[in-house]
């Protein structure tokens, strides 16, 4: 039985910070879902704040490395999607407030 939960995956990814805005990917609302199967294989579905992001590959790698730190994790798949497109309403209140979007 796998003891990695979706919450634990989100917690692990929350250590990854976007160097441009200074917030972690989870509070930015960029992590859409994390699916964990019985064998502890993790499938993260995420987006980026802009399609032209030159850090695209690197951010994927950071997310993968963060998830890999979870004990007992199996294979890790990071899927970047553009639908639904990210917008500020997906971010936490503290991010909205700090960016001035509210």
The CA distances from residue 89 to 21, 71, 99, in Å, are 16, 33, 12
Q: Which is nearer to another protein, 35 or 85 (CB)?
A: 85
- 20 touching another protein, by CB under 8 A: yes
Considering only residues 27 to 46 of the shown chain, the ones binding another protein according to CB under 8 A are none
- Of 34 and 67, which CB lies nearer to another protein in the complex structure? 67
Q: Which stretch binds another protein (CB under 8 A): 1-9, 31-39, 58-66, 70-78?
A: 58-66
> Cα angle at 92 between 88 and 94, to 5 degrees?
105
What sign results for the dihedral spanned by CA atoms 24, 57, 70, 4? positive
Q: Out of 45, 53, 74, 92, which residue is the one contacting another protein (CB under 8 A)?
A: 53
- Phi/psi-derived region of residue 101, left when phi > 0, alpha when psi is between -120 and 50, beta in every other case: alpha
Pick 2 or 55: Cβ nearer another protein: 55
Q: DSSP 3-state assignment of 78? A: strand
Q: List residues binding another protein (CB under 8 A).
A: 15-17, 19-22, 49-58, 62, 65-66, 80-82, 85-88, 99-101
């Amino acid at each position: 039985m796998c003891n990695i939960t979706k919450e634990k995956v989100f917690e692990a990814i929350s250590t990854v910070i976007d160097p441009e805005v200074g917030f972690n990917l989870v509070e930015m609302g960029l992590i859409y879902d994390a699916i964990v199967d019985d064998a502890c294989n993790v499938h993260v579905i995420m987006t980026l704040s802009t399609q032209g992001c030159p850090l695209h590959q690197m951010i994927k790698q950071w997310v993968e490395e963060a998830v890999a730190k979870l004990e007992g994790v199996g294979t890790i798949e990071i899927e970047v999607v553009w639908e639904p497109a990210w917008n500020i309403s997906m971010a936490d209140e503290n991010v909205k407030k700090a960016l001035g979007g509210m």
